[in-house]
Structures are given as structure tokens and as C-alpha cells.
Structure 1
């Protein structure tokens, strides 16, 4: 058989559908990890599978005839997924970056546009008789689309873009608050998720231009190559979905989430604390040196001290005037200073000193040392031995 069933553009959409369905099925049956995050990501991927299906049915020659034979209701129905795709991504990100996150009633607000459009769609399309639908599908095309539908399309893309912005802001907030719970930020790499969110942000900006291009081409007579823009988005989404699956599978364990209460209740914290607790923290850090562990977190330290994580965070923020990241790395710098002036460490490399002091990142070590000591670790050691020899 030599007949070509699908062109390259159709294959990109088919691959996207296949990958999304396969990975969503895996997530739904997965028993490990955060179940809510897994379910939200699975729903997001199902929405991502429905969107290329909508494109294939409405614009793919091989699929269009097949869909007509089954039911005219298949047309446009999969397009409902456009309205839920990004809200699901936002909730997925929220479930990743917030510890013990639970869905709230207010989260339903993100789906109001979907409900409104679904209601309109039911009356405008689904309620029509089959004969009317078939006539519209066989005799109509993009050039004859009503202006109202073009305006709704434009509004939809603006809505998707605005929720994408919220996704980005959620990540920014997480990155700002993460220093309250982690002493080694290199172990919490946000790059892959930022690339994903920014990627979809660009795709949604492009979709706005596509909607504007359609209005200009068919309402104003100013021809814009909106088809090329649309095809570019299809390939970009395939790349983003593939990246999401690859990176989320390899990095999902790093997302332990931040305790939202640590950030939201900071202004309500008392200005003074029990001296016993403060003394206990200081004594434990000096005697046991828990900061030498590269993987130390707020929860780890709180467990070792027998103090609640929120209480410990309150003391560190209010009494010591630091976030957890700064607090632990202060002790690590003090330890590195001690190590640098030991006779047996005169020829030891800075990487070894850094490792012995609990640092896992050369950049963090050098930055903090220069900030707190006023000179680089190398210069500090050199000055110490020069001064000692001069005496």
C-alpha cells in the first residue's frame, strides 16, 4: 500500500495525542508520589490530547471524512479542552510548590469561562439538528465563520495567556519563599518547569496573534499567514509535552513544596521567643553541626531539634533575622573559615573545603563567603598564613 494517509503536520498532532494519552494513563495508575499532582497532570495531558484531536478533526483531511461518518458532534467538541488546559496546569504547579496542597472552592473560578462557553456551545452547536450541522460542515469554512465566534476565539486565547502568566508568577513566588526551607538551592532546580511555563506562555502569545490574523484576513481584508503561525504552535506543543514528560519523570522528587503558612503568617509572628528554644538551637548547631549535611532542610532540622517546623522558621526569621538558607549557610561559612586556617588544610583544595563545610555548590560557597567575610576563600587563607608567617 503506497497511499499517504497523513502529512507531516498531521503526524505531529498524532504523536502529541499518543504521548499525552500514554503518559496520562501512567500517571492515573501510578501509586507513588503526590496523587493530587499526578491526577492534575494527567487531566492536563488529557486536555492536551483533546486539542490536537480538535485540529485533526476540523482541519485534517484524513480525519474530517472519518469524523463526519461517525457524528457531526465530534466537530468542535474537543475544542472545549482549550478552556481547561491552562487552569489545570496552574493547579498542577500549585500542587507541586505548596506542601499538603488541597483543592479549594475558589479554584473553581478558573473554570467559569469553560462553563460559560460550554453553555453557549451546547445551544449554538450541539442543539442543532444533524442535517443543519452536516450542511454547515460541508458548505462552510474558516472564511464564513461568524464574527462572534472569531471574537470568542480571541477572548479564549487572551484567557489562556493570562492564566499562563499566573503560572509563571506562582513559580516566582515559590522561588522567593523556598529559602525559608532549603539550605542548598541547587538541589531544587526550577529550570525545567520554568522552561515549560515560559514555553506555553509563548505558545499562547502566538495563539493570540493567530486569532488576530484570522480577524484581519477575513474581516478586514488584510491577509496574514495565520496557518503558518498555527503550525508553529503545534510543533512547539509537541516539543513542550515531550520535555514535560522527560523532566517531570526525572525531577518530580525535588518538589517537596513549601509550607504556605511560613510565608503568609510571617507578619503575625511574635517578636520574642522562649530563651530555652533559642539556646537549644544554637547549642545543637555548634555541637552537632547538622549543617555539614548537603541535604539539610527545615523539616530535617526541626525533627532533629524536636521543634515544630513553623516554630523553628519563626525563630530563625524573627530572632536571627535570616531565612533558613542564610541561617544555615552562615554556620557553613564559619566552619569553612575554621577549616581554612588549619595547618593540615594548607594544601587542601577549595572544593574539598567547600564539601567538608556542607556546601554543595561552589557558586553559593564563594558568594556567601565574599558577602560575610569581605574576601574570597582563597584570599582569606592566603592573608591568614601571610600574617602568621610575618609574626
Structure 2
């Protein structure tokens, strides 16, 4: 089969699936409408970009339309970046400052205005023959690379902070949001490395490799799109955002320590709070609530949430996530040891002690005992 025909076939399928995904995101009923709309527009922009593999024959006489289609890809990464923000932070809203993300595409199109958009038909025909080697095209390629690096790094930094805040403030064992977004960002990074390599080969003597790499890039794009569709269909409730106003312990620690009169007073207060906290956890067992947050625990024990965060995450040297799960595992170990409750399945036990995911329960249990729950029960 001819490579061009193969590539066009793959691109058509990718565009169709992308637009189908966009339609699904725009119509599905969900609380996080902003995230879905941003991701839908990301798919629409991606579809327009991928359409270049097969629409070129229809629009090659319309140079300004071709140029606009090339530059539209400068909206993809800003949309993805805003999508990551909207998924991670439940209180995220679009503001006027976010219009700054439009600067690259506005800048590029302003650069093209004098020479291309306002050129006569005769001049456009002359330019179209050597389009790939025009300085403006080089500018687009360079700008895309810088933009991609900036937004990919920014996305990873957002995810890093999101994970740290999540572990310090929440106990729901599910980290599917972080894993999903991290996987997606990593896949996009790998895919773009292939695109960057393809663009380098475009201007080299390795034309045959460039053509085959086009097929690979198109196939990867189709794979990524289908993978995202399957994720959305299998996990429509995937996301649980956090409040963007929540601070990390390391950021609030200096302010808390400034309020302490002396080291001895501080040590005594910390010891007293730790004893009180451990007694409350053992007697009241708040960890049995699978959705327990540090705010809820602070309200129950009547300690300011900032102080409780510093107490657990700094003075006890544990994430809130691990601190609570340790009590859950201890509770589970007690049930597994109890012969009168041997009829309970592992699934029933994990729900009883506050977990809501078998994989998360097994991971946490093995982290504390070096055994799976089943192996631990069999070893008794």
C-alpha cells in the first residue's frame, strides 16, 4: 500500500475519533464542565492539525487557509495546560489573564499578515512552491518547540504540586487523577519527540525516513486518541480536584513556628498534640471514613487545620495519606488475625477499614507488611 494513502487513511480515522471525543465531552453530563470543554477544544484543534495529512489537496490553492491551519496547533498546548489546571483544582476558573496564552498564535499570524495574508493571488502562487523553506515556517517550528517545552514542564510541575497537596490533605486511596494526567503528559511528550524528529528530517536528505515517520506519527496520534476515548468511557467519574488555596506544609511551616514562644514550649505542645491525635485515632477510628480529609479530622479533634498539617506532615514525618492508611492497615491486620471473622473476603475487609480500591489496599498493605493481605492471612 502506498505510504501516502496509508497515512491519509490513518489521519481520517484519527480526525473522526477526535471529533467524536470532542462531541462526547461537550454533551456528557458532569460537574466539571469547564475541564470537559477545554479538553473538547483540545481535540478539535488536534483534529484540525491532523487533517493536514489529507486536506492539503483541497486547500493548496488557498494559501492563507493553509497557513492558518498550520498555526492553529499553537492553541493545543495552552488548552492542554488549562485542562490540567481545571482537573487538578476544583475551584479553577478561566480569567482574563488566561488570554495571554493566545499570544503565540496572535504573534505568528501578525508576522504572516504582510507577506501572505495580504499578498496578491499571483504572489501567493509564487510563494506556495517554496513554502517549507520560508523564514516564517522556520519561525513557526521554533516557536512550537519552545512553547511545547514550556507547557510540558509547567504541566509536570502542576502535577507534582497536586500530588504533594493530595497526599498531605486527603486519604482517598484513589490517585487515578494524578496517574491519568501524568501518563497523558508523558505520552504527549514522547509523541512530540517523534514529531520534532520528523520535522528535523523534513529538511534533511533522509526523505524516505521522513515519509515513514509521518506514518508512525499518524499511527501514534490515532493510538493516543483511542486510548483517551477508552479512559473517558471507562472512568467517567475519574477526577477529584483539590482546592487551589490549600498550601503545602513546607510553605506554612515558618509562619507556624514564628508563633511559638520557645523550643521547650514548642516540643511540649507538639508531644501533647501527637498523644491526643493518636488517642483519638485509636478510640474514635475516623479513618474508617474512606473520604476523610485533613480538614474534617481537624474539625473533629478541634485543632486548626494548618497546625494539624504541620504536626503530621512535618513533626511526625508522614504524609496525611500514609498516616491514615497506617491505621487502616492495622485495623485490617486485626481482622485478618481474628479467626471468628475468617469468612470475610479481602474485598469486604478493605471496604470495612476505609479503602475503596483493591489495588490501593494491596499496595498499602504490602508497603507496611511486605505481604499481600491473602499471603498475610495464610501465614497466620
TM-score normalised by length of structure 1:
0.75
Q: Give yes or no for the alignment of 1:259 onto 2:243.
A: yes
Closer, same or farther in 2 for the Cα pair 1:378/1:149, shift >3 Å? closer
Query: Higher relative contact order by CA 8 Å / sep ≥ 6: 1 or 2?
Result: 2
Q: Give yes or no for the alignment of 1:339 onto 2:327.
A: no
User: Which residue among 211, 228, 234 is the counterpart of 1:244?
Assistant: 228
Do the aligned residues in 2 keep the contact of 1:262 with 1:310 (CA within 8 Å)? no
Give deviations 1:236-295, integer Å, cap 9, x for gaps: 112212222221343352321233333446432424789999898656544442322444
Q: Distance in 2 between matches of 1:365 and 1:245?
A: 32
Q: Give yes or no for the alignment of 1:136 onto 2:127.
A: yes
Aligned to 1:156: 144
Q: Secondary structure at the match of 2:235?
A: helix
Do the aligned residues in 2 keep the contact of 1:298 with 1:324 (CA within 8 Å)? yes
Q: Give yes or no for the alignment of 1:113 onto 2:97.
A: no
Aligned to 1:388: none
Q: Give yes or no for the alignment of 1:358 onto 2:346.
A: no
Q: Give yes or no for the alignment of 1:51 onto 2:39.
A: no
Structure 2 unmatched ranges of 5 or more: 258-265
Do the aligned residues in 1 keep the contact of 2:168 with 2:319 (CA within 8 Å)? yes
Q: Secondary structure at the match of 2:71?
A: helix
Give deviations 1:9-36, integer Å, cap 9, x for gaps: 2232223323333332443344522122
User: Which residue among 134, 143, 150 is the counterpart of 1:146?
Assistant: 134
Q: Distance in 2 between matches of 1:379 and 1:21?
A: 48
Q: Distance in 2 between matches of 1:310 and 1:72?
A: 59
- CA positional deviation for 1:128: 0.9
Q: Distance in 2 between matches of 1:74 and 1:46?
A: 17
- CA positional deviation for 1:201: 0.9
Aligned to 1:291: 287
Q: Give yes or no for the alignment of 1:232 onto 2:216.
A: yes
- CA positional deviation for 1:216: 2.5
Q: Distance in 1 between matches of 2:11 and 2:125?
A: 25
Q: Secondary structure at the match of 1:254?
A: coil
User: Which residue among 181, 198, 201 is the counterpart of 1:210?
Assistant: 198
User: Which residue among 78, 81, 84 is the counterpart of 2:69?
Assistant: 78
Q: Distance in 1 between matches of 2:23 and 2:303?
A: 41
Aligned to 1:32: 30
Q: Secondary structure at the match of 1:260?
A: coil
Do the aligned residues in 2 keep the contact of 1:158 with 1:208 (CA within 8 Å)? no
Q: Distance in 1 between matches of 2:376 and 2:18?
A: 54
- CA positional deviation for 1:41: 0.9
Closer, same or farther in 2 for the Cα pair 1:377/1:201, shift >3 Å? closer
Q: Give yes or no for the alignment of 1:101 onto 2:92.
A: yes
Do the aligned residues in 1 keep the contact of 2:277 with 2:301 (CA within 8 Å)? yes
User: Which residue among 168, 172, 181 is the counterpart of 2:169?
Assistant: 181
Q: Distance in 2 between matches of 1:52 and 1:380?
A: 52
Give deviations 1:19-61, integer Å, cap 9, x for gaps: 3333324433445221221221122112112102334333xx3
Aligned to 1:168: 156
Aligned to 1:198: 186
Q: Distance in 2 between matches of 1:247 and 1:56?
A: 28
Closer, same or farther in 2 for the Cα pair 1:268/1:293, shift >3 Å? closer
Do the aligned residues in 2 keep the contact of 1:99 with 1:258 (CA within 8 Å)? yes
Do the aligned residues in 1 keep the contact of 2:362 with 2:372 (CA within 8 Å)? no
1:265-344 matches, within 5 Å, as: 266-269=250-253, 270-271=256-257, 285-298=281-294, 301=297, 313-314=309-310, 316-318=312-314, 320-340=316-336, 342=338, 344=340
Do the aligned residues in 2 keep the contact of 1:351 with 1:362 (CA within 8 Å)? no
Q: Distance in 2 between matches of 1:315 and 1:204?
A: 43
Closer, same or farther in 2 for the Cα pair 1:354/1:55, shift >3 Å? closer
Q: Distance in 2 between matches of 1:335 and 1:227?
A: 60
Q: Distance in 1 between matches of 2:50 and 2:108?
A: 19
- CA positional deviation for 1:121: 2.0
- CA positional deviation for 1:310: 5.9
Closer, same or farther in 2 for the Cα pair 1:335/1:201, shift >3 Å? same
Q: Distance in 2 between matches of 1:198 and 1:382?
A: 39
